[in-house]
Every structure is written in structure tokens, then in C-alpha cells.
Homo-oligomer: A and B are copies of this chain.
Amino acid sequence: MKKGCKYGSHRVLEPQGVLTQAAYKIDNNMEIYSNEILVDVQSLNIDSASFTQIEEEAGGNIEKIKAKIMEIVGERGKQQNPVTGSGGMFIGTVAKIGEDLKDRDLKVGDKIASLVSLSLTPLKIEEILDVKPEIDRVDIKGQAILFESGIYAKLPDDMPENLALAALDVAGAPAQTAKLVKPGDSVLVLGAAGKSGMLCCYEAKKRVGPTGNVIALVRKQEQADNLVKWGFCHKAILASAQEPMAVLNKTLEANKGKEVDISISCVNIPNTEMSCILPVRDNGVVYFFSMATSFTKAALGAEGVGKDVTMIVGNGYTKDHAEITLQELRESETLRKIFEERYI
């Protein structure tokens, strides 16, 4: 077995010199290098922004969605949406471990979830077995490869694997929330009724403690009522995240006329940067988890309104993100029940 680059650059076909995420096409030959892991894939969890785009392009037609996914993977060697640039993650069973990685706490037959994006993961699909549009899930027969630097989580014994998968898909968001939010903070979560939104609300509410204020921004009255009832936020407001002035005014109303300390963007649509920036106080933090965030709109937008806020790009990975996220589902029966109802 040959040894590959720790970061997978040996698999880049074009253009040369970049890494696998930036590459247009990567090598999805399933013969592994000595520092790679081969996995028999069971399901793909397509990134929400990507799935929405594919679904719209296919007019909601399942066969067309399947064809589009086969086309992308056939063309690029990975499931990377050409429009959104994003991927998703997979779940599967370890089939082979390269000799240089034998020391890891992992064996053939272990069920794992990939915690690196499909947008950089060599993937080969033999057959698409099922598409579940309500949960952005695609069941397949196929294989994938993890590089030496590729992170993954062994699936826990105490919950159904699909439940773990649903939560792990957005694990970066609640874990970053845990690190950013301090006792007494006021926090605005945009897209609070979505998957990452709920996890962030829950985590933020826990962190701010009794003197904090977690404000959930949603679009529907029922979502607002539920989030308050479940105890995931202190207040819920109704507005479109694409209308910054409305978001600003309603946030101020829900926060005693004051700007918030932190905003967290968990929406899945573009043009929401200003709604995330305007309600935050000077020296506050804007955490962009949404992949539909535009870099220039954020940078120029904050400058344009003279806001001295720290804007963070939502890194999909942060230390212990899998553990932090799964722990939420263990702690909160309500959260677990909702996730079981919606995402399995």
C-alpha cells in the first residue's frame, strides 16, 4: 500500500495543487492508501442548502433528484453541489483500515458517521435505494474513503443511529454555541425552529443561565409557541431573516430595547447577513453557521452600518463537537422526542 497525503491531496485530479474540497474532480477509486479508511456507505445526509437546491431544480421529482445526485458523483467523484458548493455527511460500516491507521480505536465492522463534508470525500454510488426529502436523506449502496485527517464519530449504543446522524450533521453549531455563550448573555438565534437552530437554542439557554435572554427568530406562530413551551428559549419573535429592519426592531423589543450580545445564524437561505449583524451590540459576536452566508455581504455590510462586531465563519468542526451535540439529546427528553419524530 502506498501512503497518501494526510489531507487527501493525492486524490485530487483537477485542478492540481488544491485540496479535495476545492477540487472540481477527485479520484474515487476505492483501492485505499495506507493512511485511508474504506467505508461501506448506507446513507447520505445531504446538506440542507444543497438538498433544497437539488430538490428545486428537480421540481420535487424523486427520480430526477436521484439522477441529479448520480450525475454529480459520477462527474466529480464526490457529492458536492455545484451551485451551493456544499456536501453533507454519511453513515456506514468500516470495511478496511489502512495499515498506518491500525492503532486507532476503530475496527472493521464499526458503524461510523463521517464528520467531514461529502464535498471533499471520495464517494462511489452503485445504486440509490431511497430518497427521503423531508429529512434530506439518501439511502445508497456505495463506498467512501476517509483520509488520515478526516474526522468521524463511532455511533453511540444508546440511541438509534439515524437519530445520532441527524444531530451530528449540524454538530458544529451547538458545540460552538457552547463555547461562545456566557452566563447573562442575550442571544438571538435566526432559523431557530430548524435542526441546528433548536440545538443552538437549547445549548444557549443552558449557558446563559437565569439572567440571560435567548431570543428565537422563526417565521410561524406555531414554531414560536412550541419553542417557548419546550423551554428552548426565553422569547420567540416572528420575522423573515431577509428583512433586517424588522428583525432589528423585534429583537430590540424582546431584549428591553437593547442590542444582543451574540447572534447565531441557522437559516438555510441567502441574504440574511444584515439581519444577523444589525441586532448585535458593538464588540458583540455574529456566528454564521448558515452555508448560505456571503462573505462580502457580511464584511461590507458590517462596515456599511459602522458595526464593530466579530463575525465568525461557522467551522463545521470544533473539538468534541460530536460529544457535545449527542449529550444534548441525552439530557433533554423533549429535544430527543422532537428529533425522533422529525428526523427518523
Contacts and interface: CB of A to CB of B under 8 A. Distances in A.
Given A149-B304, A299-B315, A312-B312, 20 more contacts: A7-B245, A7-B278, A18-B243, A19-B304, A19-B305, A21-B274, A22-B273, A22-B297, A84-B296, A116-B303, A150-B304, A150-B306, A288-B295, A291-B300, A293-B295, A294-B295, A302-B316, A307-B315, A308-B317, A308-B318
Interface string A6-46: 01010000000111111000000000000000000000000
Most chain B CB within 10 A, of A21, A245, A271, is at A21
Contacts of A142: none
Contacts of A240: 17
> How many copies of this chain sit in the oligomeric assembly?
2
Interface residues of A, number: 62
Contact of A116 (B5, B20, B304): B304
Q: Do most interface residues of chain A lie in helix, strand or loop, or is the interface mixed? A: loop
Contact of A149 (B117, B297, B305): B305
Given A21-B300, A116-B303, A308 B319 contact: yes
A279 interface: no
Nearest to A283: B319
